[in-house]
Amino acid sequence: MESPVDAMHNTNRVFQDGFRMCNLANIVTVNIVSSDYGYPLNVYSTIIARDSLDRKCIYLFRRGKDSCQNISSMNDPLVLTGPKRGLMIFDSIIFEVDLKVNDVNGRKVNDKRVSRGLMEINGIFRLSFPPKYIVQTKKLVSMHSTLDLNYTFVRKAVEGTIEMRILEAGPVNFHGKIIARTSSFPCDIMLHDSKLAGMLTAGEDGILQTARRVVSVSVDETLLLTVTIAADGV
């Protein structure tokens, strides 16, 4: 069952004295770093997270068989469309990987399961060490590939939700990149890359539909955004 809790669910709540700040995790990238089938791969199916808030399904990657992502090399990240809210980590976050391959360079394969298994970020274990402002990696070796999930563990964190709105009438389709980072962690979190996730399109309310929109930020940090976009045809 998918988690019913979306981003900004605490927006109108008052933070009371005595409340504890939560620890959250950012998913930076997910890569298939080796493949028994070689490359390119046409990948589909799901990667989900279950966090400490409700242990229900939060999609990070979700594609049907008719909308595969083409992975041309180990350097091509999966195009993530989640999490839809901050991933809370009191004890742990569990990741369930179930990736399949439709074909490899145009040829069918006998076993479509390219990566399948579980990974865990242990929050209790990490609290026993001083803060590390680095990107950490969980590795899953299974089926016919090795998968790297790169993440940051953010202490005393709040959920940042990014929304971009067109204020005046004009173009509704844009191309380019929107990248987030925080002042302490040396990594970029791709919110949208039109070359991978498709054109940025403004809805009727003028809001641009980005692939991702949530970043976890420590109360001691600053959220930084780099927006490099242009109207379609420019």
* pLDDT tens-digit readout, 65-77: 889 999 999 999 9
In terms of Cβ atoms closer than 10 Å to its own Cβ (0-12, 13-18, 19+), residue 200 is: buried
pTM of the model: 0.90
Surface-to-core class of residue 7, CB atoms within 10 Å of its CB (0-12 exposed, 13-18 middle, 19+ buried): middle
| Cα 1 from Cα 183, distance rounded (Å) | 35
**pLDDT tens column, 32-76:** 999 998 899 999 999 999 998 899 999 999 999 889 999 999 999
pLDDT tens digits, one per residue of 85-123: 999 998 899 999 999 998 777 777 777 889 999 999 998
For position 169, what pLDDT does the model report?
67
Mean pLDDT of 124-146: 86
Beta bridge partners of 127: none
* Percentage of residues of the chain with pLDDT beyond 70: 97
> pLDDT, tens digit, for every residue of 157-210?
989 999 888 887 677 788 899 999 999 888 999 999 988 888 888 877 888 888
Torsion of CA 202, 225, 76, 60, to 10 degrees: -70
